[in-house]
């Protein structure tokens, strides 16, 4: 079993982030704390559920357009933020001149171990260099000097939509600072559509989403010493029209108090029955506004690659030379 990401990352920082999140109204969990080896494996199964249309659309778009994307950006090195299984990279690596270098970045050390093993078998000519890091923090040396340019950075799996607007702004600023002219950025984002369909993606009949979010509480109890009662919370999904996003969280089934260890201030956080502890947001995008945001950070849009039903978009951008 791999070390937990919380221990690697630093327990003090994780506790500070958790405490700050719980003090907000509504209270929320930091996104990066949701991921350990168990939840990475669970997410692989969630991606295959019939309700989770996002992954199917993105995978199909990648299979259709990978050759054009690589031809456009002439990438020699691929960096994937929040890589998960890394299987989406295979579609792109196939069209890159061998030997290509692939740097999957993830906070889940367990996911990176599996990815490394699988990619070495399925793409033996690729130089795979896993990087266990938080993509919201300044890039470590391994990423700043990753190999031959141009670089293509991919951010797939709708993960951009899991960042709140200020966090998305910070990430784009970090990318603009870390990339060089000519480097590319490929985003996979879900588009705004029918609220009922967008919400249903997070309510699978098999109950895997609920298991994923309840396991987050287990991660916090195990790694940070909280005492969340998993039986006292239930899966909760809603559409927030103001933020154009699905909100996924855990609804308190009773009034309760949860201990959050802290130095020097261990404290108890109160939840009232019906209150929702928000665990993730899943923002929906419109292509024009995303172009504008990218442009504000110095990127130019090279291509929009939408799926024919208008529910998903691959967007290729680059830093102009």
- The contact set with ligand SAM (CB under 6 A) reads 31-32, 35, 40, 43, 47, 82-84, 88, 105-108, 111, 134-136, 156-157, 159
* Nearer Cβ to ligand SAM (218/256): 218
Q: How far is the CB of 167 from ligand SAM (least distance, A)?
A: 9
Q: How far is the CB of 253 from ligand SAM (least distance, A)?
A: 27
Q: Which residues contact 154 (CB under 8 A, 6 or more apart)?
A: 78, 79, 80, 81, 88, 89, 92, 185, 186, 187, 188
Q: How far is the CB of 45 from ligand SAM (least distance, A)?
A: 12
* Nearer Cβ to ligand SAM (201/252): 201
* Nearer Cβ to ligand SAM (51/134): 134
Bridge partner residues of 250 (DSSP): 235, 277
* Nearer Cβ to ligand SAM (33/179): 33
Q: What is the DSSP string of 20-71?
A: HHHHSSS-B--GGGG-SHHHHHHHHHHTTSTT-HHHHHHHHHHHHHHHHHHH
Q: How far is the CB of 17 from ligand SAM (least distance, A)?
A: 11
Integer angstrom CA distances of residue 92 from 98, 100, 134, 183 = 12, 10, 23, 15
Q: Which residues contact 311 (CB under 8 A, 6 or more apart)?
A: 53, 54, 57, 190, 191, 193, 197
Q: How far is the CB of 103 from ligand SAM (least distance, A)?
A: 12
* Nearer Cβ to ligand SAM (134/232): 134
């Amino acid at each position: 079993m791999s070390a937990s990401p919380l221990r690697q990352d630093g327990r003090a920082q994780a506790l500070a982030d958790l405490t700050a999140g719980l003090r907000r109204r509504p209270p929320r969990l930091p996104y990066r704390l949701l991921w350990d080896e168990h939840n990475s494996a669970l997410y692989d199964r969630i991606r295959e559920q019939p309700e989770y249309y996002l992954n199917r659309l993105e995978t199909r778009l990648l299979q259709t357009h990978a050759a054009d994307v690589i031809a456009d950006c002439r990438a020699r090195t691929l960096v994937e933020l929040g890589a998960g299984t890394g299987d989406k990279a295979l579609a792109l690596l196939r069209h890159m001149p061998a030997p290509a270098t692939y740097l999957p970045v993830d906070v889940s050390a367990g996911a990176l171990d599996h990815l490394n093993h699988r990619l070495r078998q399925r793409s033996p000519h690729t130089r795979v260099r896993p990087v266990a890091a938080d993509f919201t923090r300044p890039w470590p040396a391994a990423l700043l000097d990753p190999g031959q340019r141009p670089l293509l950075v991919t951010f797939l799996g709708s993960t951009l939509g899991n960042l709140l607007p200020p966090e998305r702004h910070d990430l784009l600023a970090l990318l603009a600072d870390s990339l060089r002219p000519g480097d590319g950025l490929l985003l996979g984002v879900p588009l705004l559509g029918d609220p009922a369909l967008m919400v249903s993606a997070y309510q699978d009949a098999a109950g895997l989403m609920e298991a994923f979010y309840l396991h987050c509480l287990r991660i916090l109890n195990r790694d940070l010493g909280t005492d969340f009662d998993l039986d006292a919370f239930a899966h909760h999904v809603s559409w927030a029209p103001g933020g154009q996003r699905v909100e996924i969280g855990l609804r308190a089934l009773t009034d309760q108090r949860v201990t959050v260890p802290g130095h020097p201030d261990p404290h108890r956080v109160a939840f009232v029955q019906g209150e929702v502890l928000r665990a993730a947001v899943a923002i929906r995008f419109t292509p024009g506004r995303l172009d504008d945001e990218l442009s504000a950070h110095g990127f130019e849009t090279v291509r929009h690659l939408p799926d024919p039903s208008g529910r998903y978009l691959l967007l290729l951008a680059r830093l102009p030379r």
